[in-house]
Structure 1
């Protein structure tokens, strides 16, 4: 989906995915407690970044949408925390190695040809011993219709994700149903892929 699509989506006054952090991120927050610097990729309006900043982490937010980043900064100010916002195209941006102690990405959907690049760049951005956590919709989400892209080319396959993370210590992997009622765009039971790895 294009920067223009997301700028239009995020130009609303309301937070289209809500202000509460994703459930998977909340569940794993305790395991990220030693990560001083965390990067949030495809972070949109900032709900996960603000949650992590409230736990005392130094959080950098990456998104292609200027509108999303502006709302993320407003949410951070509203919650009394600071985040650093960086505009970036995840199909092209090469990350500097080892900048962060952890990387987080929730529903960062890019075309098939760019999915591995995105995951690889997240991993690359993290120091050895650091963590990478992400949750995305699987191709099966098409049947559920409760959120996410309506094009299979923007969704993920579990076997491909497992291949991309095979060289790292897998602390958690899940392929299955999850209730994601988040704002107006995620509206109930869906089908997700979750991964939590140590680099």
Structure 2
């Protein structure tokens, strides 16, 4: 079966550009260097940024083409990233309490049930006092047409994050409009949800 993301990443240009996402660019420098897991990381712009800050970065993505372009971008930046081909919609054994920071930037997958299972995996792989950073499009994004899925059930609501991470300390939460200029893929005023949540100490 053809991988939809292999096709999207097949051009020489980077679909979402080479610069990091603005939320990651703002938040990551506030956190101590550690082990980072970048989910649905595509062509690697955020993983490379994290590595340049001194983090030990593992990046997961389902697209072989995306992972190849991630390698090229890491080489350009002079950093190393551990890259793994992982389908987040399928159940896999995640390492327990292995990462200081886990982030998912526009890694829209499945429906709410699939995402709820993903959030539980994210929570258990995060170390105590570790951070989770998420930026996603809200369901309101359908009327903006500046990026993201075209299926409503793949878009997110504030409640799903606040419910999933209710036992974490919410350090930052945002729901509303932001401008995103990220290559051809995300371009213009968008309706976003942002979360920075910290896992309680044991």
Q: TM-score range by the shorter chain?
A: over 0.9
1:3 to 1:59, Cα distance in 2 relative to 1, 3 A: farther
Q: Tell me the equivalent position of 2:35.
A: 37
**Unaligned 5+ residue runs, structure 2?**
none
How far apart, CA to CA, are the structure 2 residues paired with 1:123 and 1:169? 12
How far apart, CA to CA, are the structure 2 residues paired with 1:38 and 1:9? 25
CA-atom RMSD in angstroms: 1.2
Whether 2:70 is the aligned partner of 1:82: answer: no
- CA apart distance, 1:76: 0.3
- Cα deviation 1:140-190 (Å, max 9, x = unaligned): 000100000011011011111110110100000111111111000111100
- CA apart distance, 1:94: 3.1
Task: Give structure 1 regions of 4+ aligned residues with deviation exceeding 2 angstroms.
Answer: none
How far apart, CA to CA, are the structure 2 residues paired with 1:191 and 1:81? 32
* 8 Å CA contact 1:35, 1:130 repeated in 2: no
How far apart, CA to CA, are the structure 1 residues paired with 2:119 and 2:182? 23
What secondary structure sits across from 1:75 in the alignment? helix
- Cα deviation 1:51-95 (Å, max 9, x = unaligned): 010011110000111111111111000110000001101112331
**Unaligned 5+ residue runs, structure 1?**
none
Q: Tell me the equivalent position of 1:157.
A: 157
Equivalent pairs, count: 197
Q: Write the mapping of 1:9-28 to structure 2, written as runs, cut at 5 A.
A: 9-28=8-27
How far apart, CA to CA, are the structure 2 residues paired with 1:94 and 1:3? 25
How far apart, CA to CA, are the structure 1 residues paired with 2:76 and 2:42? 16
TM-score, normalised via structure 2 length: 0.94
- CA apart distance, 1:101: 0.8
Q: Tell me the equivalent position of 1:49.
A: 47
Query: Which has the higher mean CA deviation after the structures are superposed, 134-143 or 85-94?
Result: 85-94
- CA apart distance, 1:3: 6.9
* 8 Å CA contact 2:33, 2:53 repeated in 1: no
How far apart, CA to CA, are the structure 1 residues paired with 2:16 and 2:121? 25
Q: Tell me the equivalent position of 1:98.
A: 97
Q: Write the mapping of 1:48-197 to structure 2, written as runs, cut at 5 A.
A: 48-92=46-90, 93-112=92-111, 113-197=113-197
TM-score, normalised via structure 1 length: 0.96
